[in-house]
Amino acid sequence: MESLTLSDVEQKYYSELFLSCDVDNTKKVASNGKVLDLFRAAQLSNEVVHQITELCGATRLGHFGRSQFYIALKLIALAQSGLALRVESLNSVRDLPLPRFVMGKNEQETRHAVMFADTENQGSYFPRHPGRVQAKKVSAHEMIQPCVPTVDPQPDTTSPVVSPHQSPPTSPHAWRKHKRQASGGNVDRQPSVPGVVWPPFREAQPGPVTGDGMWSAHSPPPVQESWVSFTDTPPSSTLPMHPPSAQPESTTVRTVPSAMTTNEIQRQISGYDDPWKITDEQRQYYINQFKTIQADLTGLIPGSAAKEFFTKSKLPILELSHIWELSDFDKDGALTLDEFCAAFHLVVARKNGYDLPEKLPESLMPKLIDLDDSAGVPEPAPEVGFSASPVEVTPNKSPSMPSLNQNWSELNQSNEQWETFSERSSSSQTLTQFDSNIAPADPDTAIVHPVPIRMTPSKIHMQEMELKRTGSDHTHPTSPLMAKPPELSDETKLAATIKFPGTTVGDGYSSSDSFTSDQEPISSAVNRQRSHSGTSPEGLKVVAPPPPPPRPHASHSRSSSLDMNRNFAAVPAGPQQPGVVAFPPAVPPRPLPTQTSVPHGHRSVEGDGLPAHTSTSPHQMPEQPNFADFSQFQAFAVDQPADDGENASDSGQAERCAETTGTMKTAKNDVQSEERNATTVNSTKVSTPLAPPPKPVRRRLKSEDELRPDVEDLPQKSNIIATVLATQPSIPRSIGKDKKAIQASIRRNKETNTVLARLNSELQQQLKDLLEERISLEVQLEQLRPFSHL
Partner 1 sequence: IVPTQGELKFHYTVHTSLDVVEEKISGVGKALADQRELYLGLLYPTEDYKVYGYVTNSKVKFVIVVDSSNTSLRDNEIRSMFRKLHNSFTDVMCNPFYNPGDPIQSKAFDSIVSTMMVQAC
Question: Which CB sits closer to partner 1, 311 or 475?
Answer: 311
Provide the 10 A C-beta neighbour count for residue 741: 12
Please pick, from the candidates 38, 41, 174, 306, the single residue that binds partner 1 as defined by CB under 8 A. 306
43: left (phi over 0), alpha (psi -120 to 50) or beta: left
List Cβ neighbours of 675 (8 Å cut-off, separation of 6 or more): none
Work out the burial of residue 690: count CB atoms within 10 Å of its CB; fewer than 13 is exposed, 13-18 middle, 19 or more buried: buried
User: Which of 702, 708, 705 lies closest to 765 in space, CA to CA?
Assistant: 708
Please pick, from the candidates 168, 333, 549, 585, the single residue that binds partner 1 as defined by CB under 8 A. 333
Question: Which CB sits closer to partner 1, 46 or 429?
Answer: 429
Cα separation, 502 vs 426, in Å, equals 5
Q: Given the DSSP bridges, would you call strands 64-65 and 301-302 parallel, antiparallel or unpaired? A: unpaired
779 part of the interface to partner 1, by CB under 8 A: no
Residue 743: φ, ψ to 5° = -65, -35
Q: How far is the CB of 331 from partner 1 (least distance, A)?
A: 5
582 part of the interface to partner 1, by CB under 8 A: no
361 part of the interface to partner 1, by CB under 8 A: no
Residue 476: φ, ψ to 5° = -65, -55
264 part of the interface to partner 1, by CB under 8 A: no
> Burial letters for 283-299: b for 16+ Cβ neighbours within 10 Å, e otherwise?
bbbbbbbbeebbeebbb
Cα separation, 695 vs 693, in Å, equals 5
Question: Which CB sits closer to partner 1, 306 or 526?
Answer: 306
Residue 335: φ, ψ to 5° = -110, 125
Provide the 10 A C-beta neighbour count for residue 389: 10
Cα separation, 508 vs 317, in Å, equals 40
3 state SS of 44: coil
425 part of the interface to partner 1, by CB under 8 A: yes
Question: Which CB sits closer to partner 1, 381 or 494?
Answer: 494
Residue 705: φ, ψ to 5° = -155, 10
The C-alpha angle 572, 577, 578, rounded to 5 degrees, equals 110
Provide the 10 A C-beta neighbour count for residue 84: 8
**Residues 178 and 228 sit within 8 Å (Cβ to Cβ):** yes
Please pick, from the candidates 20, 398, 463, 503, the single residue that binds partner 1 as defined by CB under 8 A. 503
324 part of the interface to partner 1, by CB under 8 A: yes
Count of positions on this chain that bind partner 1 (CB under 8 A): 47
Please pick, from the candidates 248, 275, 502, 534, the single residue that binds partner 1 as defined by CB under 8 A. 502
**Residues 131 and 166 sit within 8 Å (Cβ to Cβ):** no
Q: How far is the CB of 455 from partner 1 (least distance, A)?
A: 9
Please pick, from the candidates 303, 485, 534, 591, the single residue that binds partner 1 as defined by CB under 8 A. 303
3 state SS of 30: strand
774 part of the interface to partner 1, by CB under 8 A: no
Interacting positions 670-689 with partner 1 (CB under 8 A): none
Question: Which CB sits closer to partner 1, 13 or 324?
Answer: 324
Single out the segment in contact with partner 1 by CB under 8 A; choices: 8-16, 499-507, 565-573, 652-660.
499-507
Question: Which CB sits closer to partner 1, 69 or 310?
Answer: 310
Interacting positions 440-469 with partner 1 (CB under 8 A): 446-447, 449-452, 454, 456
787 part of the interface to partner 1, by CB under 8 A: no
Please pick, from the candidates 99, 506, 622, 693, the single residue that binds partner 1 as defined by CB under 8 A. 506
Single out the segment in contact with partner 1 by CB under 8 A; choices: 72-80, 94-102, 428-436, 470-478.
428-436
Count Cα atoms within 13 angstroms, Cβ side, for 249.
Answer: 5
713 part of the interface to partner 1, by CB under 8 A: no
Provide the 10 A C-beta neighbour count for residue 748: 22
Interacting positions 132-151 with partner 1 (CB under 8 A): none
258 part of the interface to partner 1, by CB under 8 A: no
Amino acid at residue number 541: K
Question: Which CB sits closer to partner 1, 170 or 517?
Answer: 517
Please pick, from the candidates 262, 430, 682, 766, the single residue that binds partner 1 as defined by CB under 8 A. 430
Please pick, from the candidates 332, 372, 383, 629, the single residue that binds partner 1 as defined by CB under 8 A. 332
Cα separation, 366 vs 632, in Å, equals 54
**Residues 596 and 733 sit within 8 Å (Cβ to Cβ):** yes
122 part of the interface to partner 1, by CB under 8 A: no
H runs (alpha helix) in 216-316: 220-241, 250-273, 280-293, 303-311
253 part of the interface to partner 1, by CB under 8 A: no
Please pick, from the candidates 427, 475, 666, 679, the single residue that binds partner 1 as defined by CB under 8 A. 427
780 part of the interface to partner 1, by CB under 8 A: no
Please pick, from the candidates 50, 66, 180, 307, the single residue that binds partner 1 as defined by CB under 8 A. 307
432 part of the interface to partner 1, by CB under 8 A: yes
Question: Which CB sits closer to partner 1, 295 or 318?
Answer: 318
Q: How far is the CB of 438 from partner 1 (least distance, A)?
A: 12
Please pick, from the candidates 237, 426, 560, 754, the single residue that binds partner 1 as defined by CB under 8 A. 426
434 part of the interface to partner 1, by CB under 8 A: yes
Work out the burial of residue 204: count CB atoms within 10 Å of its CB; fewer than 13 is exposed, 13-18 middle, 19 or more buried: exposed
Please pick, from the candidates 60, 254, 424, 469, the single residue that binds partner 1 as defined by CB under 8 A. 424
Q: How far is the CB of 451 from partner 1 (least distance, A)?
A: 7
3 state SS of 335: strand
Cα separation, 537 vs 525, in Å, equals 19
Q: How far is the CB of 480 from partner 1 (least distance, A)?
A: 27
431 part of the interface to partner 1, by CB under 8 A: yes
Question: Which CB sits closer to partner 1, 79 or 431?
Answer: 431
285 part of the interface to partner 1, by CB under 8 A: no
Q: How far is the CB of 371 from partner 1 (least distance, A)?
A: 25
Interacting positions 402-421 with partner 1 (CB under 8 A): 416-417, 420
Q: Given the DSSP bridges, would you call strands 301-302 and 334-335 parallel, antiparallel or unpaired? A: antiparallel
Question: Which CB sits closer to partner 1, 387 or 653?
Answer: 387
Measure Cα distances from 400 to 326, 521, 523 in Å: 20, 10, 13
The C-alpha angle 442, 443, 449, rounded to 5 degrees, equals 80
User: Which of 386, 384, 391, 402 lies closest to 341 in space, CA to CA?
Assistant: 384
Q: How far is the CB of 321 from partner 1 (least distance, A)?
A: 4
Interface contacts to partner 1, rule CB under 8 A:
303-304, 306-307, 310-311, 317-318, 320-322, 324-325, 328, 331-333, 358, 416-417, 420, 423-427, 430-435, 446-447, 449-452, 454, 456, 502-503, 506, 785-786, 788-789
